[in-house]
Chain A
Amino acid sequence: MIADTKKCQTMINITAQQILIIRAAVDVMKQIRAIFLTINPDTTGTPLEGNVQLVNTALNDLDTTVNEGVDGAVWDAMIAAIVPTHRNKALEEE
């Protein structure tokens, strides 16, 4: 019977590692958004037509969720708790 501490560690490791990926993705999207807004191209006929503000808001919400506030603090704590030598298998052997 695998200890609960290890099952929790698998959850922490995988979730935190994925949040790091999401944060990196958000950073990429924020950088490209800044360039896009500066250039301000014509969106007619593209999926962005009429949706620029919506995409902008959605990206801000995502940024807030993964980087700021209560959620951001929880993610920070989980990222700090990653154990590199734990191989994330504790939830597979039940």
Chain B
Amino acid sequence: MASGDTLCRFGPLHNEPTATLAALWGVRNQHPILSFDDTTNWYCVFSDVMPQNYAGTTGVTVYIHYAMASAVADTVDWDAAFERIGDQQLDIDGDSFAAVQSVDNTTVPGTAGLVDIVSIAFTDGAQMDSVAKGESFRIKINRDAASDDATGDAQILKVEIRET
């Protein structure tokens, strides 16, 4: 697959809520959203099978489409982490996410309802928890509320994974 091609797409309705600190499902003008608190880190999780046309060389880039509930100033931080499920790779009775990769200090849009897109690159291998084509995986995304400084919720509308 060529660099920049879409591998997976997720929306709020694909979220598999974490047992605790799950992002809140809701709607904004009937657009489904996942809301993330500004003080405590909340999480969303999506799962899929890595497409067969993933080349497995240059890694992937995760694009997060978000809007702020009300903030029109300051910054927002996002973290993401992969978990390989694979073929007899992971006992799903426990979690095994790789280290988070981040996009930090993004100045939020000047209008609260404007959707901004930020990206986090993962190199092939450990950063992706070595997810290979044809293997199922999960990706966990959180707002790093403990580190950013925009007030009020941040809301995810879409997530896209592209080949880097």
Contacts and interface: CB of A to CB of B under 8 A. Distances in A.
Does B associate with A?
yes
Between B35, B39, B74, the greatest number of chain A beta carbons within 10 A of the residue's beta carbon is seen for: B39
Residue with the greatest number of chain A CB neighbours at <10 A, chosen from B38, B71, B74, B148: B38
Contacts of A86: 38-39, 151-152
A83 B152 contact: yes
A6 B39 contact: yes
A5 B153 contact: no
Contact of B147 (A1, A83, A90, A93): A1
A2 B74 CA distance: 13
B39 A93 contact: yes
B69 interface: yes
Interface string A22-63: 000000000000000000000000000000000000000000
Contacts of A5: 74, 149-151
A10 B40 CA distance: 13
B149 A85 contact: no
Contacts of B39: 2, 6, 10, 86-87, 89-90, 93
B27 interface: no
B146 A83 contact: no
A68 to B, nearest CB: 28
Nearest to B70: A83
A67 interface: no
Given A1-B146, A4-B149, A89-B40, 6 more contacts: A83-B70, A83-B71, A86-B38, A86-B39, A90-B38, A90-B39
Interface of B: 35, 37-40, 69-71, 74, 145-153
29 contacts: A1-B146, A1-B147, A2-B146, A3-B147, A3-B149, A4-B149, A5-B149, A6-B38, A6-B151, A9-B38, A9-B151, A9-B152, A83-B69, A83-B70, A83-B71, A83-B151, A83-B152, A84-B69, A84-B152, A85-B69, A85-B70, A86-B38, A86-B39, A86-B152, A87-B38, A87-B39, A90-B38, A90-B39, A93-B40
